[in-house]
Chain A
Amino acid sequence: MAEDQQQSFIRKLGSIFAYRPPEHDTFVLTEQEDEAAPEHGKEAGLENYLDQEDLKKVADEKIREEKEREIEAEEEIKKPARADILKRIRNRKQSEEEKRKADGDKKNKPDQGAKEAAGISPDINFSRELIKKELNIPISIDVVVRDFKLNREVNAFVAFIDGMADRDVINNFILRQLMNRILYDKYDGGTMFEYVKENVLSVNQVTVLTDYDGAINQILMGVTVLFIDGYKKCLAIETRGFEKRSIEKPTTEAVIHGSQEAFTENLKTSMIQIRRIIKNKNLINEFLTIGSADQSGASIMYIRGITNPSLVKEVKRRLKSIKTDFAMGDGVIEQFIEDNPWRILPQVINTERPDRVASHLMQGRVAILSESAPFALIVPVTLTALIHSPEDFNLRWQFGTFLRVIRACAMLIALLLPAVYISLINYHQEMVPTELLISIATSREPVPFPSIVELLFMEAAFELIREAGIRVPGVIGTTLGIIGALILGQAAVAAGIVSPILIIVVAVTALGNFAIPSYSLAFVVRLARFFFIALGASLGFFGMSVGLVMIAAMMSSLKSFGVPFLAPAWPRTKNSGKMILRYPVWERETRADELNTVDKRRQPKISRGWVKGEPPAGEKE
């Protein structure tokens, strides 16, 4: 019996060690051939950035437009009796669903929750009933369907969600216009739909929709949709006007020298913030929805002609493949698209700074913005990108390099200092100079616990203070952090629970942790510190060496969207020296080699043209 148990344990252990994540083809970021690289000023073909689905969409769009033109040519549309249209659509949906199930072909299965596009009926009563049913009116009190007549003749209605749409725009620029007879004076009996679109509505953005699913999605996003009797299409009128937070200063990535604005929860505002920085016609902003229940919007931004098309396609492939009911915010999306969820290291950059996003976009990375999250995701990520701060580039290169060195030291301190302390105290006392050793021994004399216990106690206390400081509202939170640490430390020393030197160790470690510019990386360091403390307490410096090799091996094997995490250090590239050294701006001639961008050059070899020229005549030394 015991032998069986032992065997089963060994088998389990073996299976854990032989565990491999689910098999999937690894994405490789292919190098772009030089011939494909456009020269400055020339445009790279957009079709390179589109996947099969996008290309199909473009083709469908063209067909739809042609059909629309044909419909417009018809002067009058016959109105057949459609008492049972709803029934027929439902029957058709059901029969097709059954057919798919019978086929058992997984590939042909519709995405979870994805609705089949149903063409809009010219019968306005049918459309009204369908919209009401889909949007759960009258149970949902915030959804409004408003009926009226155009030119006192044609039936029409608008549908919108109260609070999501701007009331002023609806009242003054949609309803008032639509019901104003004077505006129909020049109506010559042609297509009312086109007349309304071109002559009546005074709203900047109006889109034609031909299916109910699209219309409902737009309504849910705050757009007002106008249905007109007799037409197989409707108008989506831009009225989004919900309450939102204004642009504020960054809270987790503050800088002294540089931009002082952060993203907000509003996707549109975030997109505009980036556009305002990169005034480039090739900045592409693609929109897609994620999640079947909430249809969250996400925006993919990249620069055509710089970013590697394979990278863009891979990002889109991963985002489109997400099958979930609710994917709110950048954190959830990040977890869905990262290469290796089992690794502790971050595989996506989260940032709240538009200038940082812009800088990465210009490097050839892809940004993903999501609704309801004041953060952007940037892929692919490297360790270099995580330890660099936007401030490095705003400062002169000497200062930037100094800051990077400080930051690298801070990271090492945050990771290793407590483990070094515990190793020294437990195993390598000979290394500590005698006077210092006596001082440490004297301060530790009243402490009844082993040094590992007091260290873990202080680390735990500090983590508590930090977590509580975040949850406590406003200024009290910050005060609690500072005062709490001081009082707790002082009291712990006075009570003889910890030694004073340990307070210094924990405080310096915390400072080091705060100096790491990436929140995700700082979190990794926080957790890895405990791992190193355990190793240091078990086997001193040898134990720490074991941990260092393990961490290095993990980092070496990690890839983010086909780019090695340790690039440009390993594998070595032309930019390897730029990991710690911040080169002068005029020396930053090429883009990051590991990103395999289409256009590799940022600036010519001589970017400061004036060094080759001469000062104006008479003003020369």
Chain B
Amino acid sequence: MLKEGKIGVFEATCIVSIAITAKLFFASPRALAEVVGPAGRLMHIVAIPAALVGFLFIFLLMKRFPGQDLVSVFETVFGKIAGSLSIIILAATFLFNSVLFTREFSEAIKVYIYPFTPPSMIMIFFLVPVLLMVYLGFESLARTVASFIWIAAIALLSVFILAGPLYKIYNLFPLFDGEIGYIAITGLKRSSVYGDIVFLAVILNPLQGIGHFKKAGLMAVLFSGMFIFTGLLILGLAFPKTVASELTIPMLSLARVIEFGTFFQRFESVYIFVWSISAILAAGVNLYAFTSIYCKVFRIKDQKPLVLSLGVILFSIGILMPSITVIVSLIALFRDFSWAVYFGIPLLALFFAAARGKKGVKTGA
């Protein structure tokens, strides 16, 4: 059994929130501006309830099997082989998300700050803390994330406030850029942004119970949803659609144009700390999710010997992507369809469990 320690609701909320919110710091807002224009925030009004419904299904599934984590639930519901295969699909999704974070960050930082540095070097530097966190274990990862969450939140809020003079109400119009139906469908698909919530089901045992799971999940979706909504609203206010869809990293561009007198300008470099740390933590969370599932499926007691191999795999997959254009299109594809894995497979498991009448045994009653 993998030793994962114990964490509280706050740490669990932080873990999922950082994995979700970090997406705001990179190319996703640009892609969104391209698809729905300034209505990105409205799209999230659909995506958040959709994610909550998805979470409700996961919660019902986990409630049906008290004291069991998602790996164990899948094995009980689908049988050992099918269960393992389905959970490995989920694990692969986490791994791929981690790869996307790594490569997206490397490309983004290359574009803005280090134009002459090869992406491989940035990736290696990026992977060192990611692998270290996975090596040190889940408890340490959770506490590290929780240590930085305040800094990330304060930095993000400061960007929102300092960019105040740049806001133009008329940038928000047309309010519904395109059909409402199209925005709603995109919103449903984009609920995959909140798909990291499934991770909580994987770490149910360190989370100490279904009550904490429910609380952490709800708080994470609402907290990160609020931040993403505000972020998109701010970006919509600051940049018109045509400009926003041309920016590689809109949030960094927003930080760049903040200006107060001759001294306080071009402070985007300070925010590099926040972008970098958030991306490292998000990649770490996703990689740990993969590691945790892998160890549980194959009954590996210690994740430490896997870390180096994982690093090599992550680096190799990341470096395979030829250019930022490919990465951006892959991310768009991933955001549109990963909900099927994040929410679809647990939903399927719930149906199977209900149809077969499978239930867990209540312990400690």
Contacts and interface: CB of A to CB of B under 8 A. Distances in A.
Given A430-B266, A431-B267, A556-B144, A14 B308 contact: yes
A14 B312 CA distance: 11
B168 interface: no
B139 A557 contact: yes
Interface string B241-260: 00000000000000000000
A572 B129 contact: no
A556 B272 contact: no
Interface stretch (B95-103, B173-181, B275-283): B275-283
Interface string A552-581: 111011000000101001111000000000
A20 B137 CA distance: 13
Contacts of B267: 431
Contacts of B304: 18, 20
B298 interface: no
B269 interface: yes
A539 B273 contact: no
B148 to A, nearest CB: 7
Interface stretch (B35-43, B109-117, B184-192): B109-117
Interface stretch (B120-128, B220-228, B330-338): B120-128
A358 B365 CA distance: 45
B305 interface: yes
A430 B265 CA distance: 9
B143 interface: yes
A548 B139 contact: no
Contacts of A540: 113-114, 269, 272
Contact of A571 (B121, B143, B148): B143
Contact of B136 (A435, A548, A556, A569): A556
A348 B308 CA distance: 32
Interface in A292-349: none
B8 interface: yes
Interface in A526-553: 538-546, 548-550, 552-553
Nearest to B10: A572
A70 to B, nearest CB: 55
A542 B136 contact: no
B86 interface: no
A424, A553, A572 interface centre (most CB from chain B within 10 Å): A553
Contacts of A550: 128-129, 132
A365 B241 CA distance: 61
A549 B129 contact: yes
Contact of B262 (A431, A433, A544, A569): A433
Contacts of A441: none
Interface string A15-33: 0011010000000000000
B219 to A, nearest CB: 14
A570 B146 contact: yes
Contacts of B272: 428, 540-542, 545
B147 interface: yes
Contacts of B146: 570
Nearest to A535: B125
Contacts of A542: 109, 113-114, 122, 125, 272, 276
Interface string A203-231: 00000000000000000000000000000
A550 to B, nearest CB: 5
B147 to A, nearest CB: 5
Contacts of B114: 427, 539-540, 542
Given A542-B125, A546-B126, A553 B263 contact: no
B6 to A, nearest CB: 8
A546 B276 contact: yes
Interface in A416-471: 424, 427-428, 430-431, 433-435
A546 B280 contact: yes
Contacts of B266: 430-431
Contacts of A606: none
B30 to A, nearest CB: 21
B307 interface: yes
Contacts of A564: 143
A434 B122 CA distance: 29
B63 to A, nearest CB: 26
Contacts of A272: none
Interface string B6-43: 01101100000000000000000000000000000000
B141 interface: yes
Nearest to B135: A17
A13 interface: yes
Nearest to B3: A26
B305 A18 contact: yes
A569 B128 CA distance: 25
Contacts of B277: 545, 548-549
A545 to B, nearest CB: 4
A160 to B, nearest CB: 55
B125 A572 contact: no
A544 B113 CA distance: 14
B270 interface: yes
B308 A431 contact: no
Given A542-B276, A566-B147, A557 B308 contact: no
B216 interface: no
A540 B113 CA distance: 9
A522 B135 CA distance: 27
A543 B121 CA distance: 11
B133 interface: yes
Interface in A17-63: 17-18, 20
A200 B281 CA distance: 76
A553 B141 contact: yes
Contacts of A546: 125-126, 128-129, 276, 280
B188 to A, nearest CB: 34
A557 B269 contact: no
A426 to B, nearest CB: 11
A557 B129 contact: no
B140 interface: yes
Contacts of A17: 135, 307-308
Contacts of A431: 266-270
A20, A424, A540 interface centre (most CB from chain B within 10 Å): A540
A554 B308 contact: no
Contact of B147 (A428, A434, A538, A556): A556
Contact of B113 (A427, A556, A571): A427
A572 to B, nearest CB: 6
Contacts of A571: 7-8, 11, 143
A539 B148 contact: no
A549 B109 contact: no
A572 B140 contact: no
A428 B271 CA distance: 12
A552 B144 contact: yes
Contact of B144 (A433, A549, A572): A549
Nearest to A558: B140
A340 B313 CA distance: 30
B311 to A, nearest CB: 8
A542, A544, A545, A550 interface centre (most CB from chain B within 10 Å): A542
Contacts of A20: 302, 304
A265 B133 CA distance: 42
A18, A538, A552, A572 interface centre (most CB from chain B within 10 Å): A552
28 contacts: A14-B308, A17-B308, A18-B304, A424-B269, A427-B114, A428-B113, A428-B272, A430-B269, A431-B269, A431-B270, A433-B262, A541-B272, A542-B122, A542-B125, A545-B280, A546-B129, A546-B280, A548-B273, A549-B132, A549-B133, A549-B280, A552-B148, A553-B129, A553-B132, A553-B144, A557-B140, A570-B143, A571-B8
Interface of A: 13-14, 17-18, 20, 424, 427-428, 430-431, 433-435, 538-546, 548-550, 552-554, 556-557, 564, 566, 569-572
Top-9 shortest CB links A-B: A557-B140, A545-B276, A556-B143, A428-B269, A570-B143, A549-B129, A557-B136, A431-B269, A17-B308
Given A18-B304, A430-B269, 7 more contacts: A17-B135, A20-B302, A556-B140, A556-B141, A556-B143, A564-B143, A572-B8
